[in-house]
Homo-oligomer: A and B are copies of this chain.
């Protein structure tokens, strides 16, 4: 039963995992990742469980989690809890990035339009102080982008129809506002009523929006920074919630 193949020295493990030997030493000294055992001469020997643990460490570390937090996390046995906690952090980082994109857009727009910003405007996304007139910004800056996105979708799927964008934009705003209300009330995405939204999409496209297409649209939302930025601005975490709700809705209505 000699599985010498499954034993790694520091160097071997380092190479396998794409890290440095120094990092393994470091993690050892922090008690974050100890070798399976140490030889009589003091060589660290790692095995499969340590490799797996290292990979999980690297996964969390890739999300900028401090090592002590990772150690804590790995100590709490439940995998679902770990993932959930991790999800929260990534989601938070996502919202922050969305806010930064929003401010970048606003900054660039103002630089091009020569309208000086107030000091509060400049630093909106960085400190904890959020809120403010995102609504106004949404209409002013992203209204146009949104129209362009929709026009793009329509072109993709059915080239050229009339331009009734503005009235439909108004409609969308109402629909979205309702959904945001549901979201902020803690409504389960399974229970969201997306009939109005799906109808709106169908109207935009100029032909029926099937359940499958609607589900695809959810994917598209998540793949498109513009959409994420837009929805995150409406409410933190809303983009994820909406996409999930759309997917679930499509499943129930296919």
Q: Which residues does A use to contact B, with CB under 8 Å? A: 16-19, 48, 51-53, 55-56, 58-59, 62, 64, 79-80, 83-84, 86-87, 90-105, 107-108, 111-112, 119-120, 122-123, 125-130, 133-134, 136-137, 139-141, 144, 152, 155-160, 205, 207-208, 210, 212-213, 216-217, 219-220, 222-226, 228-229, 239-240, 243-244
Contact = CB atoms under 8 A, between A and B. Distances in A.
B140 A56 contact: yes
Nearest to A218: B102
A213 B133 CA distance: 31
Given A59-B100, A98-B240, A220-B224, 20 more contacts: A16-B119, A17-B136, A18-B129, A55-B122, A55-B123, A59-B137, A59-B140, A62-B96, A62-B100, A80-B112, A92-B225, A94-B101, A94-B229, A95-B225, A95-B228, A101-B222, A105-B240, A156-B217, A157-B205, A220-B220
A104 B92 contact: no
A250 to B, nearest CB: 11
Copies in the complex: 2
A64 B207 CA distance: 45
B84 A108 contact: yes
B104 A222 contact: no
A15 to B, nearest CB: 9
B55 A107 contact: yes
A65 to B, nearest CB: 13
B105 A87 contact: yes
A140 B134 CA distance: 39
Interface pairs A-B: 7 shortest CB-CB: A18-B127, A91-B225, A52-B140, A159-B210, A55-B136, A59-B137, A55-B140
22 contacts: A16-B123, A17-B136, A18-B127, A48-B144, A51-B119, A55-B122, A55-B123, A58-B133, A58-B136, A59-B137, A62-B97, A62-B130, A62-B133, A79-B141, A90-B101, A91-B229, A93-B97, A94-B94, A101-B222, A102-B222, A219-B226, A223-B223
Contacts of A134: 59
A155 B66 CA distance: 36
Contacts of A130: 62
Given A17-B126, A240-B105, A222 B95 contact: yes
